[in-house]
Amino acid sequence: MDMDASLLVLHGLAVRKSGTVEQIALVTGQDADLVRATLDEGIAAGEVLGARDVYMPTPAGRSRLDGAYATTYGRVRADERFRAAADRFESVNKKLLALLTSWQSVSRAGTNVPNDHSDPAYDAKILDELGELHERTEPLLETLAGQVPRYRAYLDRLAAAYDRALGGADDFVSGVRVDSYHTVWHELHEDLLRVLGRSREE
């Protein structure tokens, strides 16, 4: 079971904070034309704001969305396998965040400086470790997708980002302007927290 189209679009906006039609379609797994039409309906209802092809939820939209999670995902929240997979995901999440820090900075003369990616061996080691974490994530996402099928799209997006990174496109590890591994992972984590009604650990 999942939310209806209007709530799912609001959910996609909340996960991303704001986004284009194409970005919300990626998060929700919906057709872009349906997303565009639903966003227009949301604007008319006062639940969505849009400017220059970027959209975000209004307070009214967020309020309706927040009230719908428990009803829509009550069965998911009660599923022990789903909760256990989510708990394991949190463990992997901590390791990924540490790995991304290592990707973004290196230690030189006892000081952390931005990684300029001039050391192929260093980057290759990080990518190998990222591949290992990705392999650990795959069965967790398959379990989660058993209850929320759209989570399989996150697995495809993570795999695509990792392949691009292996091919030498460094931005696809943690870049913010592309559908990087970090960007997709952050969206997945936020999505999962919302479905379960949990708060992000600081």
Is 202 part of a structural domain of the chain?
A: no
Same domain, 155 and 83: yes
Q: Would the pLDDT of 199 be above 90?
A: no
Q: Would you say residue 201 has pLDDT above 80?
A: no
Q: Is the pLDDT assigned to residue 166 strictly greater than 80?
A: yes
The reply to whether 104 and 43 lie within a common domain is no
The region of weakest confidence among 110-114, 158-162, 166-170, 186-190 is 110-114
pLDDT at 1: 57
**Domain assignment of residue 138, yes or no:** yes
What is the per-residue pLDDT for 140? 95
Please give the tally of structural domains in the chain: 2
Q: How far is CA 42 from the centre of its chain?
A: 23
Q: Which pTM does this prediction carry? A: 0.93
pLDDT tens digit sequence for 73-103: 999 999 999 999 999 999 999 999 999 999 9
* pLDDT in the model for residue 200: 79
Structural domain containing residue 54? 5-72
Model confidence over 125-136: pLDDT tens digits? 999 999 999 999
Q: What percent of the chain has pLDDT over 70?
A: 99
Tokens found for residue 62: 């967020």
Backbone angles phi, psi at 110, to 5 degrees: 80, 5
Residue 61 Cα distances to 32, 36, 103, 181, angstroms: 20, 16, 37, 29
- CA 181 → CA 117, 118, 185, distances in Å? 17, 21, 6
Close Cβ partners of 36 (under 8 Å, ≥ 6 residues apart):
21
